[in-house]
Chains A and B, each alone.
Chain A
Amino acid sequence: MTIYGYRVPMMASLIVWCLIWELVGQSGVMFLIPPLSSILASAVTMVQTQTWQAAALITLHSFVIGMALAILVGVTLGVLMGRFKAVDDLFGIWVNIFVSAPLSALVPVLMILFGMGETTVIVTVFLFAVWIIVLDTRAGIRHVPTSLIEMGRSYGASPFALYSKIVLLAALPEILAGIRLGLVRGVKGVVIGQLLVSIIGYGELFELYSRSFDMENFWALTIILFAAAMLMSAAIEHIEKKVEYYAGVR
C-alpha cells in the first residue's frame, strides 16, 4: 500500500488500531478498556512475577503434551485414512462430526472422565487440535501422485521407506497446514480447559483478573496469549512456504 507515494509498511494498520485504543483508553469512557500504554506496562511487570511464570509453565506443559499427542495421532490416523478405504469408512464420519462440533460443551464430560487436574486440560487440547490435523493429513495423502508411489515400489522401497521417504514428504505441505490450524485450536483448547475445569495456570489468572476487574492485567494476559499463538502459527507458516517451494511441481 502507498499513500502520497510513500510505501506504508505491512504492520501500519496495527499501529493505527493501537493509537485508537490508546485514545479511547485515555478518554476514560469505558473502564473495560484502559489505555494500551498502561496495559503494556503491566504486561512488563506481570511477566516478571512468580505467579505469571508458574502459570505460563503449567499452561505450556499441558499445551505441548496435548499438541504432541494430537500431531502423533492426527498424522497417523490421517495417513491410514488416506491410504486405506476401510479405515476411512470407519473413522470418516466421526472426524467430520468432531471437526465442527462445539467441543467446549464436552469439556464438563471430560472432567468426569479425567478428573479436575491437568489430564483434562491435556485431553481438551488434544480434542481441539486433532481433527483438523487428521483431515488435512488425509487430504495430503490423497494428493500424493500414484506415479510417485509406483516409482517407490518399482525401485524396491520397503513399506517403511515408501512412507518415510516418499508418502509423508509428498504430503508434507498439507500436513503442515493441518498442524498450523491445529496449533491455533490447541491454544483455544488449553485456555478453555483451564477456565472450565481446573482453574489452573493461565485459566486461573484469567479468572482472577476478570473477577477483580483488573483490566490492565487481564488485557496484558490476553495480548501475550494472542502474540504467542500468532508467533507459533507464523513459524509453521514459514516452514510451510519453504516446503511448498520445493513441492512446487506435483
Chain B
Amino acid sequence: MSIPAAVAHVEQSATTDAVVEVRGICKKYGEVEALRNIDLDFPRGKLTTLLGPSGCGKTTLLKIIAGLIEPTSGEVRVSGRPVSGPGPERAFVFQDFALMPWATVMRNVAFGLELKGMGKAERQAIASKYIAEVGLSGFEDKYPHELSGGMRQRVGLARAFAVNAEVLLLDEPFSAVDEQNRRKFQEDLLRLVEKERKTFIFVTHSIEEAVYVSDRIVLLSRRPGRVSQIIEPKIDRTASPDAIRRDQGYLDTVEEIWQGLKHYVD
C-alpha cells in the first residue's frame, strides 16, 4: 500500500492514549492461517472500523479482543492490562443480535446487569434509560419476535450500553437489518458515539458504512488477515447526514478504499 506516511502518523498519535492495544496477534485454525501478526492501537473515544473482504478474519480479530476466542499467539491489552477472557470493560453487540427469545426487551437490555448481580429496581432504571436512548420507549414488555430486525439490534445495542463498558465491540451489527433501517441506525449510532464518549470497535464489510461512521478505518487483507492500510476519513461530522453522504471527502475516501480492496475481488 502506498501511504506509509499516514500510517506512521496514526501509529504515533495512537500510542499516546490507546484503550485497546493488540500486539502480534496470530490465529491459526489447524493449517488455515486466519490472522498474521496483527499490531493495532484503538484510540480512546474513537470509532475504529475493521474493514476487509469476507474471510479476512475481521470478526475473528474482534472476538479475540472480546476474549471469546483464544489467539494462537500475541496479546491484547485493555487499558494497559493484558486480558485473557471477556471482561466488564468490554461489551459485545452481535451480528445476529443474540437476544433471549423468552425474555422481554427490558430483561434483555438489563441482562448484563442481572449477571453482575445488580438488584431488579436499579438495573431496570438503567435499562429504561438506554431503551429510551435507542428509541424503543414503549416496547419494554415486548418479546424479540414481536420486533423488526432493526429494533432487535437496538435492543442489542442498549444491552451493551447498559453495562457501561469502556469499549463497545460491534460485529457487523447492521448486516441483518434492511437498507432503510440501516441508514437510520447508522445516523443514530453516530449520535450515540457523540453522546456516550466510548471507544467503539466496529466490524463491517460495507465500505460506505465504514466511511460514514468511522473516525479511523483499518483495512485488512485477505487470508491470512494482515493490516494493509489505515485511513482516517476527513469528514465534517457536524453536517447533516445527507450532506455527509454527498461530501467530497466522503466520496473520495470510499473511492480510495475501493481502489485498495479491488484487487482482492475476483
Contact = CB atoms under 8 A, between A and B. Distances in A.
Interface range for A: 20 to 34
A199 to B, nearest CB: 46
Given A156-B115, A246-B101, 14 more contacts: A148-B100, A150-B92, A150-B94, A151-B94, A151-B98, A153-B85, A154-B92, A155-B91, A156-B116, A165-B114, A170-B102, A247-B102, A248-B101, A248-B143
Interface residues of B, number: 29
The 6 closest A-B pairs by CB, nearest first: A249-B145, A151-B98, A147-B98, A155-B112, A248-B145, A154-B92
Interface of B: 63, 66-68, 85-88, 90-92, 94-98, 100-102, 111-112, 114-116, 143-145, 159, 163
**A interface majority secondary structure:** helix
B178 to A, nearest CB: 16
Nearest to A246: B102
Interface in A232-248: 243, 246-248
Of the listed residues A145, A147, A148, A155, the one surrounded by the most CB atoms of chain B closer than 10 A to its CB is A155
B102 A150 contact: no
Contacts of B63: 150
A91 to B, nearest CB: 27
**B interface majority secondary structure:** loop
Nearest to B113: A155
A156 B96 contact: no
Of the listed residues B88, B91, B115, the one surrounded by the most CB atoms of chain A closer than 10 A to its CB is B115
Contacts of A148: 98, 100
A207 B93 CA distance: 64
A248 to B, nearest CB: 4
Of the listed residues A148, A156, A157, A169, the one surrounded by the most CB atoms of chain B closer than 10 A to its CB is A156
B67 A154 contact: yes
Interface string A150-166: 11111111100100011
A211 interface: no
Given A147-B94, A154-B86, A243 B115 contact: no
B115 A155 contact: yes
A151 B93 CA distance: 8
A169 B100 contact: yes
B96 A155 contact: no
Nearest to B102: A246
17 contacts: A147-B96, A147-B97, A147-B98, A148-B98, A148-B100, A150-B68, A150-B94, A153-B68, A154-B67, A154-B91, A154-B92, A155-B112, A155-B163, A169-B100, A170-B100, A247-B101, A248-B143
